[in-house]
Structure 1
Amino acid sequence: MTIATAARPHLWRRLAAEFLGTGLLVAIVIGSGIAASCLSPYDIGLQLLENSVATALGLTVLILVLAPVSGAHFNPVVTLADWWLGRRTGHLPLVDVAGYVVAQILGGLGGAALANTMFETATSFSTTERVAGGHLVGEVVATAGLVLVIFALARTRRGHIVAPAVGAYIGAAYWFTSSTSFANPAVTIGRIFSDTFAGIAPASVLPFIGMQLAGGLVGILLVVLFFPTTRPPAAPRLA
């Protein structure tokens, strides 16, 4: 989920990284959700704790491993924000954006299938309805905050801490947002195929994605407001 470096790998390598990273992220979310349901079947709070810790740690590792290849977006909203904020420099061409989004969605579907296979769970549509006013607002907040965290750090040349910062933010957002912070259209689509508390019913997907895109726009506006240009971090005060 970081800004890619100037000497970027070939597009097919970046797309493969986005496919793998998004797939493993969804496998972590769904797999830990299945495990939590088995380990703590009567304690929803403990299930959420197990799910959120696994997701936060797993996401941090995936970003650290794959950021040098593709920037580790794993999220169409992050890709769109990266394109928009860097459009004047041609940082991420539209053809790359389209490829990233397709790779992320396909990766999310593959990750759901992988998690279900590992736990020998039938792949079926989720029955967990999530469309409610509070949940939709939660998705705007979660996604806006995610975009702000990533690009605030990138624009102040603190990209080396994006991985732990994003992991920490997503882990916290599981708890402080009513929607449990999906904040990612590709992950949302993948979670259709998990009939556990980590899943989302197909009818809830489009409203969630709509709010995630709205949250991404809010996040971009906040980045432009607070960090209009890329700049070095402030020098430490010695006295």
Structure 2
Amino acid sequence: MSEFSLSRRLVAEALGTAMLVGTVVGSGIMADRLSDDVAVSLLGNTIPTGAILVVLITILGPISGAHFNPAVTFVFWLREELGLALAGAYMASQILGGICGSLIAHVMFELPVWQASTTVRTGSAQWVAEVVATFGLLASILAGIRFREAAVPWLVGLYITAAYWFTASTSFANPAVAISRAFTDTFAGIRPIDLPGFILAEFIGAALALALFSWLLKSNTERA
């Protein structure tokens, strides 16, 4: 039983996802304005995203667990650490918070608040990249909890920083973030029509990570 009320946990999930998406979208807008070089813009988008994850997981993790990601919540539901109703409430809070993050980023940069992305992100390479990205994210979380729980904020931040660059999709690895990025026609956007492929790939990656690491992290002293 958490020491924090359900309302506080849901607000933490919404707030954390809003700040995460606001950072992704806002830093993407800023980076795109400061440089015409796509590689430089991507770097300007990567560093703030990894950094804010360390901060958000550290300050909000003790309240809600700092999922900020329906794929993470899905795995903890499969592990029977969350009930179905709570998992659904977490996911709804994450999606709502993430969309608000996109809209707030637009306000900060004096852009039209309501937008729909036109950035094409589709195809087998992108989907495989999202499976890999989400698999690695959940692997980092599950192994981090098992061996060094205090390091999880850094593990997640550093993993996402790396995955921005080694995945073809730039590592969304988060259905709530993907949905939220469909609401911005800026550097970080994704066309709404491309969302189903990304979201399915992310849940597949999460499930594969759980399947493998449930076995991999079991020591000889634990029952098989």
Q: Does 1:212 align with 2:202?
A: yes
Match of 1:80 in 2: 74
SS in 1 for 2:182: helix
1:142 is matched with 133
Q: Take 2:28 and 2:141, find their aligned partners in 1: how far apart are those partners? A: 26
Percentage of pairs with the same residue: 47
Residue 9 of structure 1 corresponds to which residue in structure 2?
4
RMSD of aligned residue pairs (Cα, Å): 1.2
Partner secondary structure for residue 178 of structure 1: coil
* Partner secondary structure for residue 228 of structure 1: coil
Q: Residue type matched to 1:220 in 2?
A: L
Q: Is the 8 A contact 2:130 2:198 kept in 1?
A: yes
**What is the alpha-carbon distance in structure 2 between the residues aligned to residue 46 and residue 195 of structure 1?**
19
Structure 1 residue ranges without an equivalent (≥5): 1-5, 232-239
Unmatched 5+ residue regions in structure 2? none
Checking the alignment, whether the CA contact within 8 Å between 1:8 and 1:70 is kept in structure 2 is no
Measured in 1, the distance between the counterparts of 2:27 and 2:181 equals 12
Q: Please name the residue that 1:236 is paired with.
A: none
Distance in 1 (alpha carbons) for counterparts of 2:103 and 2:133: 26
Tell me which residue corresponds to 2:92.
102
The alpha-carbon deviation at position 49 of structure 1 amounts to 0.3
Matched residue, 2:52: 58
The answer as to whether partners of 2:25 and 2:187 remain within 8 angstroms in 1 is: no
Q: Distance in 2 between matches of 1:208 and 1:80?
A: 16
Out of 165, 172, 178, which is 1:175 matched to?
165
Query: What is the alpha-carbon distance in structure 1 between the residues aligned to residue 2 and residue 96 of structure 2?
Result: 26
What letter is aligned with 1:26?
A: V
Mapping for residues 1-239 of structure 1, pairs under 5 Å: 7-40=2-35, 42-85=36-79, 87=80, 91-122=81-112, 123-156=114-147, 158-228=148-218
Contact kept, 8 Å, 1:109 with 1:190, in 2: the verdict is: yes
Contact 1:129–1:200 (8 Å) recurs in 2:
yes
Partner amino acid for 1:110? C
Q: Which amino acid aligns with 1:205?
A: L
Runs of 4+ in 1 over 6 A off after TM superposition: none
- Aligned partner of 1:222: which letter? L
Q: CA deviation at 1:225?
A: 2.0
Q: Distance in 1 between matches of 2:218 and 2:64?
A: 24
Corresponding residue pairs, total: 219
Contact 2:144/2:155, CA 8 A, preserved across alignment: no
Q: How far does residue 151 in structure 1 lie from its aligned partner after superposition?
A: 0.9
**TM value normalised by structure 1:** 0.89
Local SS of the residue matching 1:81: helix
Give the superposition deviation at 1:8.
Answer: 3.3
Residue type matched to 2:75 in 1?
A
Distance 1:228 1:179 in 2: 32
